[in-house]
Amino acid sequence: MIKGYNLTNIGTPLKVLFTSYLCVVGIGYMMAFTQILLTHGMADGKFGLSVDDIVYSYYGDRTGTLLENKLNGSMKDMADEPDRVAIIKWVRDGAEESTFESSGAKMVFENTCIACHSAEAGMGLPDFSKFENIKERAQQDTGASVASLTRVSHIHLFGISFIFFFVGAIFVFAKNVPIWLKGTVIALPFVSQIMDIASWWLTKFDPMFAWLVLIGGSGMGIAFAFMWFVSVYEMWISKRDDSSVIDEH
């Protein structure tokens, strides 16, 4: 921390700047958590993030196919029961192209799935207007692919580290936090992020590591919440430290 400067005396313009940033990333963090609940959190067909959700997302549910597991999990509410049954039955019968239309599965994909699962939709989902993409997902569910893990890992490593760098840079100016605790909290999200992403890869090959995903994610969340609330409290509620007042003009 620069001598004389702390979150109680940095001046109103900087307080507004820091608080505005913290509010935006705080909302973003909540949206990210909600997105996790609605995707990974529905992998077992039940709302709420559990170890089973982590296992199904990264290791897969190898007792069934990806299509079947998705229709019984996160995609369960996206199709009516008869439509889901038609696709699942076609998959269990071998997912052959020759029976794709006669089984009724093709019509379900065209009427229900392709609205989102197509290149035109622009949602980044598999393109189900092409049969080969459907066939690929009618195979055993082995969880996230190596290609998708590589893509998501590098995005998270770059993006999330930037968020915690700037949140930590603001928290550095906290006045009423012991140095040892401040250093620990600043380092925690970076250590947790490495643990979180490493555990994705470990869980891909062995489901016993799924617990590490929850631990890593919890570490980031605890550190973020602590730095956020301490920073906002010291800027707007804590008593101003007049021992070295910064001229606001």
Reported as a single tens digit per residue, the pLDDT across 108-155 is 999 999 999 988 888 878 899 999 999 998 988 898 889 999 999 999
Domain that holds residue 131: 63-136
Whether 1 has a pLDDT exceeding 70, the answer reads no
DSSP conformational letter for 239: P
DSSP calls for 55-96: HHHHT--TTSBHHHHHHTTTTGGGS-HHHHHHHHHHHHTT--
Specify whether the CB–CB gap between 134 and 128 falls below 8 A.
Answer: yes
Place of tokens 């794709």: 100
Domain count, the chain: 2
Specify whether the CB–CB gap between 193 and 154 falls below 8 A.
Answer: no
Query: Which of 85, 111, 136 is where one domain is finished?
Result: 136
- pLDDT band for 63, please (50, 70, 90 cuts): confident
Q: What is the pLDDT of residues 181-215, one digit of tens each?
A: 999 999 999 999 999 999 999 999 999 999 999 99
Based on the fold, state whether residues 102 and 149 are members of the same structural domain.
no
Residue 95 located in a structural domain? yes
Residue 52 located in a structural domain? no
Based on the fold, state whether residues 120 and 88 are members of the same structural domain.
yes
Q: Which residues contact 152 (CB under 8 A, 6 or more apart)?
A: 144, 200
pLDDT, the chain, mean: 90
Residue 233 located in a structural domain? yes
Based on the fold, state whether residues 117 and 189 are members of the same structural domain.
no
Q: Which residues contact 17 (CB under 8 A, 6 or more apart)?
A: none
Q: At 140, is the secondary structure helix, strand, or coil? A: strand
Residue 5 located in a structural domain? no
Query: Which of 94, 120, 136 is where one domain is finished?
Result: 136
Based on the fold, state whether residues 123 and 69 are members of the same structural domain.
yes
Residue 58 located in a structural domain? no
**What is the pTM (predicted TM-score) of this model?**
0.79
Phi/psi of residue 235, nearest 5 degrees? -70, -40
Query: Which of 103, 136, 169 is where one domain is finished?
Result: 136
Based on the fold, state whether residues 84 and 34 are members of the same structural domain.
no
